[in-house]
């Protein structure tokens, strides 16, 4: 078959859709200069991001959380107290069990974050002790990319105007927590820096805080640890504490009834010491019965009151520090080598993609 003049330099196209992989790689290699440009640009961007991203430090502590024993001292209490209309109630061990999600939920709760924001910590880089909220508003460093992403929002806020300050109530007697947009952003930023997790099998709680200042990070872990243990302790004994308050109130009332019954019986006996009539004996037996009933109820409540005090001690979780908090020495961010390798790979991918577009679209 003769080849027409002028067509000998044209590539022969296959009838099928199959692509010669070797030929494709050859064409891509011919555009290595374009691919190299992409890689160079992305490496340059990676260097900028790696060296402009603020340093971060992670501090942590590990606790062993031993939950309280199960069972309630009020289980099975009925008898005389229930007959007298005293409903003391009871609890199960399941109601006091700690869920792993509880620790994370507490560390991400708005009351905890707002309390943490108002705490003062020492920042070694500033050589000063300031409130955490002031640090985020005035001293926290932002990466070049982060600043660029925040710029449109700042411009919009500048032209629209500042927002009204938050109020603590709605004008009624009901208190409702209201926070500003700025506070919401601060709380969200702080939430992302705190991690509290529990291993239910080992009963181990790990608290991790990441901050730009290593000393402040360690102090925040310590504060979170103290807040967490106090909150969980109050949560664990809350039901028993409510039962104790209820029994104490009932105990004081039954104590007064018992003392009054005791006084009435003694007074009646003194007045009728030498009287032997059946009527007097009948009234004395009635007063004795009232005295016995009030004494038994009062005595049983006194026992249960002491039992609940012991139960509260048993329900109180015990936290043992397995790994104390330490001021971190090595930074956790940025990982410059990982950033540079990642941007190099992304630059290569974009470069190859650009080369393929030229091969299949622009040069077809």
Task: Say if residue 168 is in the same domain as residue 89.
Answer: yes
The whole-number pLDDT of residue 152 equals 57
Backbone angles phi, psi at 65, to 5 degrees: -100, 115
Rounded Cα distance between 213 and 55, Å, is: 8
Residue 120 lies in a domain: yes
**Letter string b/e over residues 329-344, b meaning 16 or more CB atoms within 10 A of that residue's CB:** eeebebeeeebbeebe
Instruction: Quick: pLDDT tens for 191-223.
Output: 999 998 888 777 888 999 999 999 999 999 999
Residue 132 lies in a domain: yes
Residue 68 lies in a domain: yes
The whole-number pLDDT of residue 237 equals 87
The whole-number pLDDT of residue 96 equals 46
Phi-psi domain of 85 (left: phi exceeds 0; alpha: psi -120 through 50; beta: other)? left
Q: What is the greatest pairwise CA distance in the chain? A: 151
Residue 136 lies in a domain: yes
Residue 19 lies in a domain: no
Of residues 161, 165, 162, 163, the one with CA closest to residue 179: 165
Rounded Cα distance between 354 and 34, Å, is: 8
Rounded Cα distance between 262 and 255, Å, is: 10
Domains identified in the chain, total number: 2
Task: Say if residue 85 is in the same domain as residue 232.
Answer: yes
Task: Say if residue 130 is in the same domain as residue 246.
Answer: yes
Task: Say if residue 279 is in the same domain as residue 355.
Answer: no
At 10, list the tokens: 């044209």
Residue 189 lies in a domain: yes
The whole-number pLDDT of residue 117 equals 92
Task: Say if residue 202 is in the same domain as residue 261.
Answer: yes
Distance of CA 94 to the CA centre of its chain: 22
CB-based burial of residue 104 (10 Å sphere; 0-12 exposed, 13-18 middle, 19+ buried)?
middle
Instruction: Quick: pLDDT tens for 247-299.
Output: 999 999 999 999 999 999 899 888 888 777 888 888 888 989 999 999 999 99
3-class DSSP assignment, residue 75: coil
Task: Say if residue 239 is in the same domain as residue 294.
Answer: yes
- Which residues, given as ranges, of the chain have pLDDT below 70? 1-19, 67-100, 143-175, 362-364
Residue 286 lies in a domain: yes
Task: Say if residue 236 is in the same domain as residue 107.
Answer: yes
Task: Say if residue 220 is in the same domain as residue 342.
Answer: no
Task: Say if residue 40 is in the same domain as residue 86.
Answer: no
Task: Say if residue 157 is in the same domain as residue 273.
Answer: yes
Rounded Cα distance between 107 and 193, Å, is: 10
Rounded Cα distance between 45 and 173, Å, is: 55
| Cα 154 to Cα 2, 93, 145, 149, 160, distances in angstroms | 71, 53, 14, 10, 10
pTM for this model (two decimals): 0.67
Phi-psi domain of 161 (left: phi exceeds 0; alpha: psi -120 through 50; beta: other)? left
Q: Which domain holds residue 28?
A: 24-53+334-364
Task: Say if residue 176 is in the same domain as residue 249.
Answer: yes
DSSP class of 72:
-
Task: Say if residue 33 is in the same domain as residue 73.
Answer: no
At 245, list the tokens: 């308050």
Contacts of 85 (CB under 8 A, 6+ apart): none
């Amino acid at each position: 078959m003769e080849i027409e003049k002028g067509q000998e330099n044209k590539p022969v196209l296959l009838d099928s859709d199959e692509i010669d992989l070797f030929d494709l790689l050859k064409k891509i290699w011919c555009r290595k200069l374009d691919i190299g440009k992409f890689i160079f640009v992305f490496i340059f961007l990676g260097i900028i991001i790696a060296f402009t991203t603020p340093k971060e430090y992670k501090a942590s502590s590990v606790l062993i959380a031993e939950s309280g024993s199960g069972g309630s001292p009020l289980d099975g209490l009925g008898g005389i107290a229930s007959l007298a209309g005293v409903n003391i109630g009871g609890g199960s061990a399941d109601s006091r069990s700690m869920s792993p999600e509880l620790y994370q939920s507490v560390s991400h709760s708005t009351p905890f974050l707002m309390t943490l924001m108002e705490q003062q910590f020492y920042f070694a880089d500033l050589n000063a002790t300031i409130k955490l909220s002031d640090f985020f508003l005035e001293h926290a460093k932002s990466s070049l990319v982060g600043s660029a992403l925040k710029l449109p929002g700042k411009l919009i806020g500048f032209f629209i105007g500042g927002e009204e300050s938050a109020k603590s109530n709605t004008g009624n007697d009901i208190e409702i927590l209201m926070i500003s947009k700025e506070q919401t952003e601060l709380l969200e930023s702080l939430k992302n820096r705190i991690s509290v997790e529990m291993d239910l099998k080992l009963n181990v709680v790990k608290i991790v805080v990441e901050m730009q200042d290593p000393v402040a990070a360690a102090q925040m872990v310590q504060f979170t640890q103290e807040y967490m243990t106090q909150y969980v302790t109050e949560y664990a004994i809350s039901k028993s504490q409510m039962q104790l308050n209820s029994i104490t109130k009932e105990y004081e009332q039954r104590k007064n009834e018992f003392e009054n019954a005791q006084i009435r019986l003694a007074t009646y006996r003194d007045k009728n010491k030498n009287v032997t009539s059946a009527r007097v004996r009948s009234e004395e037996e009635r007063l004795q019965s009232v005295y016995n009933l009030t004494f038994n109820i009062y005595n049983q409540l006194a026992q249960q009151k002491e039992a609940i005090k012991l139960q509260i001690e048993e329900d109180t979780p015990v936290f043992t520090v397995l790994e104390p908090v330490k001021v971190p020495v090595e930074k956790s961010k940025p990982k410059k080598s990982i950033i540079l390798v990642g941007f190099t790979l992304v630059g290569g991918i974009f470069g190859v993609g650009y080369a393929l577009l030229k091969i299949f679209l622009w040069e077809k």
